[in-house]
Each structure stands twice: as structure tokens, then as C-alpha cells.
């Protein structure tokens, strides 16, 4: 499948005067549909590379780095807030400017990518035929979140946690994906992906941790907005969750699925990054969304 990833597959796509996204597009002359993958922290588009290649025989696949991640733009916070609602606007602009056929689109979004996708669906119910989300915090339920994530949401602790994230970059990139999993369930990600996250952490005047902290500074507001408008959500959504997710407990996924009457898949033995721990699950979910 390596023929799908050539020098033209990864490029830069201008959204507006402040934001240019690094993206990967694997095109198919006769696609059965289009898939758009949205990554989380501390990932880059390389989190989805192997899965994208596996799907490229049948689908057109799009992946991009969020602003503040990888090699995408990092405008100052006075020009772009990095809030979930602002990421939702970026997502909408990308889909529109890239000419994606939304009637044949599946969005697969995890972690920080999931709430923006659902916020956009509130405003644009036809933005996709299906949205697959998982392992994120749709509602303001700090009791279901990892302690450091709780501390990022509000108060003086935000500054300290942000500083610690930046200080501990190497430890985060080395251990985030395996944390909380028993030894037999831990997994390695590719060196290419590791190198890309490391290279992309420090760009311009803002680190990936800074962007993450800005996102969380607006998180409660945007969670409350989403919860208050749940009845408006009409797009078909499927919720998947790692049973062993250390960062966002499965109770969050259960509540979301129940409240929006969505299909819910709890993945035994899987942590916060199902697409990395068992890529086949993500591939199968995408294929099922087009049946």
C-alpha cells in the first residue's frame, strides 16, 4: 500500500490568514466514501498514517494536524483561542475548502478532536453521514477525568500543570500511550510517529502543551454549551471507548451514548488510544460506518 503515500500525500492547506494546516490526503479514483481522522494530545497526523494506508484502497482519507500540533500554524492566543469551538470552526473550514462530500463522509475523532466534531454537528447536522467519537470529555464531569486534566480546567493549578507538561515533554511522549495499561497490554508506536511528535512539540512561540492548556482553559464553557444543546444533535454518532482508559473513565462514554441514543462499544483491555493499541478496531469501525 506504500504507493498511496508519496511526496504529494502530505502538504499544507491554508484555512485563513492565521492558520495553515499540515495535512495528509490519500486519494482514490473511485472511493466508496471519505474518511476524516481527528487526532488528540499529544498526537500528530502520523497517529493515523497506517490506518489511513489500510483504508486507501477503498476510501479517500484526510488527516490534519490541529493548530498547535505537528507542523500546523500556531497563532498567538489573542488571534486564536484554541478552544473546542474554534477547532470546530477550523474543521468546518477545512471540510468546506477541501471540497469534501459530506454526504459520504465519516469523521473519526478521539480525545480533543471529538468535542469540536460534535459542536460542529450541532450547527451543521449534515456535516457528515457518521461521526465516530471516543475517549474524551463531552460533559463537565471532573470526577471522571485524570487528576492533571481536572487541574487544567480551572484555577491557579492551570499554570503549574501547563509548566509541568512543558518540562516533562520527553516523559509524556515516551509514556502517555502506555500509562495505566498492564505490561502485557502495552504497545509501541512507530519511530516515525515519535519523531514527528517530538519535532512538532516546539514550533514558533507556542508548544503543543501550551495549545493543550489553552484548549482546556475554555473546556468547561464549551462542554456546558454542548450539553445544553444536546437535543439539537441530529447527526448519526457512534461512541467507542477503551475499557481501561486512565484519562477519561468509561462512565463518560456511557452517559454520552445514553443521552444521545447512540450505539456504544466498550473495548475490553483497551486504554485511551484504541486506534494505536489495536488499529484493526478503527479500520473495522470505519468500514462498518459505510454499510
Determine the 3-state secondary structure of 290 from DSSP: coil
> Cα dist. 60→30, 149, 283 in Å?
9, 34, 13
pLDDT 10s digits, 89-105: 999 999 999 999 999 99
For residue 4, pLDDT over 90 is answered with no
Q: What integer best gives the mean pLDDT of the chain?
A: 95
Encode pLDDT of 100-159 as tens digits: 999 999 999 999 999 999 999 999 999 999 999 999 999 999 999 999 899 998 777 889
Closest CA relative to residue 96, chosen from 208, 13, 184, 198: 13
287/249 Cα distance (integer angstroms): 26
Residues 69, 39 contacting (CB under 8 angstroms): yes
This prediction has a pTM of 0.96
Res 3: pLDDT: 44
Amino acid at each position: 500500500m506504500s504507493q498511496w503515500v508519496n511526496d504529494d500525500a502530505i502538504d499544507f492547506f491554508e484555512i485563513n490568514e492565521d492558520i495553515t494546516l499540515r495535512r495528509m490526503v490519500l486519494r482514490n479514483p473511485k472511493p466508496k466514501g471519505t474518511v476524516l481522522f481527528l487526532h488528540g494530545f499529544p498526537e500528530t497526523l502520523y497517529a493515523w498514517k497506517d490506518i489511513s494506508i489500510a483504508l486507501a484502497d477503498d476510501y479517500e482519507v484526510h488527516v490534519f494536524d490541529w493548530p498547535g500540533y505537528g507542523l500546523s500554524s500556531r497563532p498567538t492566543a489573542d488571534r486564536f483561542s484554541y478552544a473546542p469551538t474554534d477547532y470546530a470552526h477550523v474543521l468546518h473550514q477545512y471540510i468546506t475548502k477541501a471540497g469534501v462530500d459530506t454526504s459520504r463522509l465519516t469523521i473519526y475523532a478521539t480525545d480533543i478532536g471529538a468535542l469540536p466534531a460534535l459542536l460542529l454537528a450541532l450547527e451543521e447536522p449534515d456535516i457528515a453521514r457518521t461521526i465516530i467519537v471516543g475517549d474524551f470529555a463531552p460533559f463537565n464531569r471532573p470526577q471522571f477525568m485524570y487528576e492533571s486534566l481536572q487541574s487544567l480546567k480551572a484555577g491557579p493549578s492551570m499554570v503549574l500543570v501547563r509548566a509541568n507538561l512543558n518540562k516533562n515533554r520527553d516523559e509524556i511522549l515516551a509514556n502517555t500511550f502506555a500509562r495505566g495499561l498492564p505490561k502485557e497490554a502495552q504497545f509501541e508506536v512507530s519511530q516515525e510517529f515519535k519523531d514527528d511528535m517530538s519535532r512538532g512539540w516546539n514550533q514558533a512561540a507556542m508548544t503543543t502543551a501550551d495549545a493543550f492548556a489553552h484548549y482546556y482553559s475554555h473546556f468547561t464553557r464549551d462542554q456546558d454549551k454542548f450539553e445544553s444543546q444536546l437535543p439539537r444533535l441530529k447527526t448519526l454518532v457512534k461512541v467507542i471507548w477503551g475499557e481501561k482508559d486512565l484519562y477519561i473513565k468509561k462512565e463518560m462514554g456511557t452517559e454520552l451514548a445514553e443521552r444521545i441514543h447512540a450505539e456504544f462499544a466498550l473495548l475490553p483491555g483497551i486504554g485511551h488510544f484504541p486506534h494505536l493499541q489495536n488499529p484493526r478496531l478503527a479500520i473495522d469501525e470505519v468500514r462498518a460506518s459505510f454499510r
